[in-house]
Amino acid sequence: MATPAAVPSSRRRRAYFIGGTSLLVIAVLGVTLGPVRIGAGAALLEIADRILPVNIDSGLSDQEAAIVWQLRAPRVVLGSLVGAMLATAGGAYQGVFRNPLADPYLLGVAAGAGLGATAALAFGAGAGALPPAAFAGAVLAVGATYYFARAAGGRRTAATLILSGVAVGSFLTAIQTFIQQQLSDRIREVFAWLLGRLSAATWSQVGTVLPYVVVALVVLMAYRRVLDVLSVGEEEAATLGVQPARARLVIIAAATLGSAAVVSVTGLIGFVGIVVPHAVRMVAGVSYRVILPLSMVIGAAFLLAADLLARTLISPGELPIGVVTAFVGAPFFAMILRRREAA
Amino acid sequence: MRRPTVCFLALGLLVAACASPITVDSDAGQLTLDERPERIVSLSATHTEILYAIDAASFVVATDLTSNYPIEAEATTKVDAFNFNVEEIAAVEPDLVVTGFNSQGELDALQAVGIPVLLLAPAANLEDAYEQIEILGDVTGREAEAANLISSMQTRIDALIGSTTAEGLTVFHEIDNTLFSANSSTFLGDIYRRLGLSNIADAVPDEFASGYVQIAEEYLFSRDPDLILLGDAGFGESFESVGARPGWGSLSAVQNGAVFELDGDVAGRWGPRTVDLVEDIVAAIEAAS
């Protein structure tokens, strides 16, 4: 087996270092910047006071403390989890399907979650019912994609799965649009959710997604070498002692569950799963042993940076974060396509 | 058959007025009708409320799905204004359609099949609302009823505005739980302004000049409004649910119990029940100060 890592390890180390440092810096900015002026020192002291078992006086008023701990901190943590999960899942999907356009929403996660959330609103459910409904919709959609792929192909090849995902996605989106049409008075809530938002981040949302994201990331990290083997080809992988069908199922299940969990609380934040792994590939080479962990770190940093822009560009107003990621992501995507064309 | 009776009883000048075309100003230019409409379709809940309040209900043959007041309006033929379908409306054979919106090309589509449309876009202030009542009175021949409604609304609203001093109080109006809000260029915001309230939505850039803006949670905290008014009470928001939001317990309005529910239907319309709306807001101000 040829290791496809032609990139020198010093460069990889530098990439990890830069990614990790920017994540930290952006996270600190995330709890510092906002319409209310609070110094980085005081903000960090406040967070230390809440996390550490010692009593630290940050000198902030009750309200400033609430801003740091109830509004900004969960937003930063949730943003990191979402960015890390979407970017890693995107990288994993691209590897498992050997398709550079694959993203975490490929197998119907987005359409299923969207339908689940819309249906919950249609039945008069409160905001708290959105995440579980979206999660259930996403998992059902991917289940349907798998089922139809098997019914169609017998062998679940990558191409059959993608086609089945497209069909299921279109079908569910059609139902969602129909329900949305009937929901005239709550349409804004549906759109706000569809565009993706971190603005409503709470610690309870962090608690909801954390277990899924941790399990999904651990599984994907454990399988990153298998992804390198799969990238050589299915038959070759089989001769190397990897069961392609089973490995693919595990990877897809982990990436899908993690993505469904984050989508269910933040809505559809697009392009992170495509932009980040491709950017990582450009600097760190094509080995998934490097792409996945780097995507995780840089994905978190990218999403936090996008969120910073979303809440400062038109301050004191706020842009939906999905608009920012797509605004940065779409031109980047076009650039990658051009490069491929040129090569 | 009230219309011919009125004409017969009227003096010569008025007889001429009945027979001659009716011309009114709409938000799509002047609208001229050859005859008084007798089969009106109202595509807006506000205009349905006005038509009923000026005793023109007998001309209303169909109303849209959101027209839920007065209760009698529910008994008319129902059409879907949100998913506008010109044939659905043509089927009830109206001789006039009243609408507040033209976002789906309602005007052109209806005129293409020969149905006159009276477009009265959402009022931006009380004067606009009074003018729309007057126009609907002119169109339906209920001029006196319209004038009475306007003067009674004016008297009561002016008295309410005069009865309170909210000077110095800041307000946040919540349209939905994403913290969407309305600034002073909207009908509702104009009422807040007249009551002397300072609206925290006014400092938020309004890119589309729609009057409706997205408030960021932290900005809300930085302004710490004295009064929080919930236009989304119909969707389950309340003093309790707002107080239970993470961090909101530190807001003055929550600590002082100055979070009040408004009837979302009334707050989103500019019809006769605006009086009730102003009453509710004044009660909230009294309770908060």
Token pair for A61: 């008023």
Identify the pLDDT of residue B12: 46
Q: Identify the helix (H) or strand (E) that includes residue A266.
A: helix A244-266
Residues B179 and B84 occupy one common structural domain: no
Query: If you ran DSSP here, which 8-state letter would residue A223 be given?
Result: T
Contacts of B217 in chain A (CB under 8 A): 71, 199-200
B39: nearest Cα among B62, B18, B19: B62
Cα dihedral sign, B59-B62-B67-B72: positive
Residue B172 maps to a domain:
yes
Contacts of B250 in chain A (CB under 8 A): 62-63, 65-66
Higher pLDDT: B196 or A126? It is B196
Identify the pLDDT of residue A63: 86
- Find residue B64's DSSP bridge partners: B79
Angle between helices A187-195 and A109-122 in degrees, nearest 10 = 160
pLDDT at A90 over 70: yes
Answer for the pair A212, A257: CB distance below 8 angstroms, yes or no.
yes
Identify the pLDDT of residue B15: 46
Residues B255 and B223 occupy one common structural domain: yes
- Separation between Cα atoms, residue B186 and residue B270, nearest integer Å: 10
Residues B118 and B186 occupy one common structural domain: no
- Separation between Cα atoms, residue A125 and residue A145, nearest integer Å: 27
- Separation between Cα atoms, residue A320 and residue A188, nearest integer Å: 12
The amino acid at residue B179 is L
Q: Chain-wide mean pLDDT for chain A?
A: 85
B182, burial (CB in 10 Å: exposed 0-12, middle 13-18, buried 19+): buried
Residues B184 and B81 occupy one common structural domain: no
A196: nearest Cα among A307, A51, A335: A307
Fold adopted by A9-342: ABC transporter involved in vitamin B12 uptake, BtuC (1.10.3470)
Average pLDDT over residues A314-323: 80
The residue segments making up the domain with residue B277 are: 165-288
Q: Which residues of B touch A (CB under 8 A)?
A: 66, 82-83, 176-178, 180, 203-205, 207, 213-219, 221-222, 224, 235-236, 246-251
Identify the pLDDT of residue A134: 86
Average pLDDT over residues A333-338: 73
B213: nearest CB among A63, A184, A317: A317
Residue B9 maps to a domain:
no
Identify the pLDDT of residue B89: 92
Helices and strands counted in chain A (H then E): 15, 0
Identify the pLDDT of residue B214: 87
Average pLDDT over residues A1-17: 71
Size of the A and B interface in Cβ pairs below 8 Å: 86
pLDDT tens-digit series, residues A21-63: 999 999 999 999 888 888 889 999 999 999 888 888 888 888 8
pLDDT-derived band at A331 (thresholds 50, 70, 90) equals: confident
Which CATH number belongs to the domain containing residue B68 in this structure? Answer: 3.40.50.1980
pLDDT at A241 over 80: no
State the ipTM, two decimals: 0.71
Contacts of B205 in chain A (CB under 8 A): 314, 317
User: Half-sphere exposure (CA, 13 Å, Cβ side) for A44?
Assistant: 8
- Find residue B181's DSSP bridge partners: B213
| A13, A18, A23, A26 alpha-carbon torsion, rounded to 10° | 170
Answer for the pair B31, B24: CB distance below 8 angstroms, yes or no.
yes
Identify the pLDDT of residue B61: 96
**Chunked in runs of 10, what are the mean pLDDT values of chain B (289 residues)?**
48 51 88 93 97 96 94 93 88 94 88 93 95 96 97 96 88 92 95 95 89 91 95 89 93 95 92 96 91
Residues B40 and B136 occupy one common structural domain: yes
Residues B33 and B66 occupy one common structural domain: yes
Residues B72 and B98 occupy one common structural domain: yes
Identify the pLDDT of residue A337: 67
pLDDT tens-digit series, residues A245-298: 888 889 988 998 899 889 888 888 888 998 899 888 888 888 999 999 999 999
Higher pLDDT: A117 or B189? It is B189
| The pairing of beta strand B198-199 with beta strand B180-182 | unpaired
End-to-end CA distance of chain A: 26
Q: How far B23 CA lies from chain A's nearest CA (Å)?
A: 33
| CB–CB contact B204 A317 (8 Å) | yes
Angle between helices A224-232 and A73-96 in degrees, nearest 10 = 30
- Separation between Cα atoms, residue A145 and residue A149, nearest integer Å: 6
Q: How would you write B250-274 as a 3-class SS string?
A: HCHHHHCCCEEECCHHHHCCCCCCH
Average pLDDT over residues A234-248: 80
Token pair for A16: 């990890």
Residues B176 and B271 occupy one common structural domain: yes
Average pLDDT over residues A182-205: 76
Q: Where are the domains of chain A?
A: 9-342
| CB–CB contact A317 B216 (8 Å) | yes
Token pair for A291: 């792409």
Q: State the best of B218, B241, B256 to mutate against chain A, taking most chain A CBs within 10 Å.
A: B218
Identify the pLDDT of residue A2: 45
Sheet holding B40-42, edge to edge: B77-79, B60-64, B40-42, B96-99, B117-119
Higher pLDDT: A127 or B52? It is B52
